[in-house]
């Protein structure tokens, strides 16, 4: 059996370029005892992958040169030598950017969406949704009546953060880029307010939307959005740091040293700033997340948007566009 795969051809400097990727066709090995052969149906593209393209020190090992690009997928089992799975089972796992794979059965999980579409297993009911739920629940800990702000509010993590905040009795303030995304956040997701981070008066608009300050800020972006949010944080404010997409392509910050102002605010306002990776909560709490959020997604109580691109060969261009806000909703590649 043949498989197509996209590998890291070279490490990007700044924004990834087509020459940093290479599409290959390889022979698929036979599955050994405990392994399964899968056909990839959908590939999730996420901002964290930019970090894996770099060899800088991080929370996870980088993708090696000529290695398959990292990524979570939804797959169909074709052949199984694992007692846990049978042909036809739909599973999710970290098979990477490829059309077929042979993987250990204990590295896969059956897809459960509570009746929602299959693609939600890598979106609203997958890693992005769980990232929002766990970061907000265990670090943000919003109380009824508090104000929760979130950057990249139209994306798969930010949109879930705001909707959960509302369900848990807090006010939800979204920050997004462009009028179309802001309209979606306000009219379809029903945030209490939304601010366009591209507007010249971001600071004054944020002040108007948060007259009582911000109690929880879910950080996905960094950069000038953080500059605007920092002065609005209340005493004992909590900041779950999920991502810093404004810096992923190595954008220079030499013209704005944010450290003194940030450290001063942490001290003065007794802020909790806590970086996290969703995997630290997943083993103990993923099933709890699915039980709470799955039925609400299936029933339409929690809304989501997906941006589905057809064809594995289009993954590099779609990924690069995502890093500059070119997608609208959870970015997914339809592979099969």
| pLDDT-derived band at 254, boundaries 50, 70, 90 | very low
Q: Are residues 155 and 249 in the same domain?
A: yes
164 is a domain residue: yes
Residue 113 pLDDT > 70: yes
Among 49-58, 163-172, 180-189, the least confident range:
49-58
Please count the other Cβ atoms lying within 10 Å of the Cβ belonging to residue 67.
14
The predicted pLDDT at position 63 comes to: 96
289 is a domain residue: no
pLDDT digits (tens, 9 = 90+) for 23-65: 999 999 999 999 999 999 999 999 899 989 998 887 888 999 9
Q: Are residues 261 and 191 in the same domain?
A: yes
Q: Are residues 81 and 167 in the same domain?
A: no
The predicted pLDDT at position 246 comes to: 57
Question: Phi and psi (nearest 5°) for 291?
Answer: -65, -35
Among 95-99, 166-170, 250-254, 302-306, the least confident range:
250-254
Domain that holds residue 164: 127-275
The predicted pLDDT at position 155 comes to: 92
Helices (H), the chain: 48-52, 127-135, 156-167, 179-183, 202-209, 223-229, 259-269, 279-298, 315-322
The predicted pLDDT at position 252 comes to: 46
Asked which of 258, 275, 292 is the last residue of a domain, the reply is: 275
Residue 14's SS3 state is coil
296 is a domain residue: no
Please count the other Cβ atoms lying within 10 Å of the Cβ belonging to residue 58.
12
Q: Share the mean pLDDT of the chain.
A: 94
Mean pLDDT of 1-7: 96
Residue 327 CA to residue 321 CA, distance in Å, equals: 7
- State the DSSP code for 256: -
Residue 87 CA to residue 283 CA, distance in Å, equals: 26
Q: Are residues 259 and 206 in the same domain?
A: yes
Residue 247 CA to residue 243 CA, distance in Å, equals: 9
Residue 240's SS3 state is strand
């Amino acid at each position: 059996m043949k498989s197509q795969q996209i590998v890291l051809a070279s490490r990007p400097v700044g924004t990834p370029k087509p020459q940093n990727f290479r599409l290959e066709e390889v022979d698929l090995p036979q599955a050994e005892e405990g392994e399964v052969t899968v056909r990839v149906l959908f590939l999730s593209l996420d901002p964290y992958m930019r970090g894996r393209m770099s060899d800088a020190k991080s929370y996870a090992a980088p993708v090696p040169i000529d290695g398959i690009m990292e990524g979570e997928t939804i797959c169909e089992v074709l052949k199984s030598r694992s007692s846990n799975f049978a042909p036809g089972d739909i599973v999710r796992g970290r098979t990477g950017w490829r059309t077929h794979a042979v993987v250990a059965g204990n590295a896969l999980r059956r897809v459960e969406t509570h009746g929602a579409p299959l693609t939600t297993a890598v979106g609203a009911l997958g890693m992005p949704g769980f990232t929002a739920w766990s970061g907000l629940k265990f670090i943000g800990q919003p109380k009824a009546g508090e104000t929760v702000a979130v950057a990249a509010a139209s994306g798969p993590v930010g949109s879930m953060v705001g909707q959960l905040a509302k369900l848990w009795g807090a006010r939800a303030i979204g920050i997004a880029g462009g009028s179309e995304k802001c309209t979606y956040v306000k009219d379809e997701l029903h945030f209490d307010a939304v601010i366009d981070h591209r507007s010249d008066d971001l600071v004054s608009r944020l002040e108007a939307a948060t007259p009582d300050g911000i109690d929880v800020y879910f950080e996905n972006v960094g950069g000038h959005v953080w500059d605007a949010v920092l002065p609005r944080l209340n005493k004992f404010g909590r900041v779950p740091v999920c991502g810093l997409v404004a810096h992923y392509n190595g954008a220079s910050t030499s013209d704005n040293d944010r450290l003194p102002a940030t450290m001063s605010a942490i001290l003065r306002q007794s802020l909790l700033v806590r970086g996290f990776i969703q995997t630290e909560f997943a083993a103990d709490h993923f099933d709890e997340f699915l039980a709470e959020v799955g039925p609400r997604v299936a029933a339409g109580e929690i809304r989501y948007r997906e941006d589905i691109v057809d064809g594995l060969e289009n993954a590099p261009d779609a990924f690069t566009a995502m890093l500059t806000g070119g997608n609208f909703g959870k970015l997914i590649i339809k592979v099969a």
